Amino acid sequence: MIALIQTIILALDIYWWLIILSAIFSWLYAFNVVNPRNQFVGTIGNFLYKVTEPALRPIRRLLPDLGGIDISPIILLLLIFFLRQFILTTVAPALI
């Protein structure tokens, strides 16, 4: 059971970093720092979008319009942090 919990925690940690990378990439793309016509850059952007958008879309629907500021990644990171801490402090000790 410990192996399953560690695997879930690792998956949450990897997804945490993918969300951060996606936010940074969107800023670089918006400020024209990266070349959007480069195939490699497009592939990375497409991958990050497809991985993070299914989790961010429901949060964006619930949030009010903040005038172009997207705080959905921050809310998702807080949810992942809460879930990770809940697993480590409540679920794991109960199973061991």
Q: Give pLDDT, residue 28.
A: 95
Residue found under tokens 């919990």:
5
Q: What is the mean pLDDT of the chain?
A: 94
Q: Which amino acid is at 59?
A: I
State both tokens at 38: 């480069």
Q: Give pLDDT, residue 66.
A: 85
Residues near 42 by beta carbon (within 8 Å), at least 6 away in sequence: 36
Residue among 19, 8, 33, 4 nearest 83 (CA): 8
Over 80: is that where the pLDDT of 93 sits?
A: yes
Q: Give pLDDT, residue 68.
A: 82
Considering only residues 36 and 93, tell me which one the structure prediction assigns the higher pLDDT: 93
Largest CA distance in the chain: 52
Residue among 4, 3, 1 nearest 95 (CA): 1
What is the per-residue pLDDT across 38-60, written as a single tens digit (0 to 9) for each?
A: 999 999 999 999 999 999 999 99
Range of the domain at 12: 2-95
Number of other CB atoms surrounding residue 17 within 10 Å: 9
Q: Number of structural domains, the chain?
A: 1
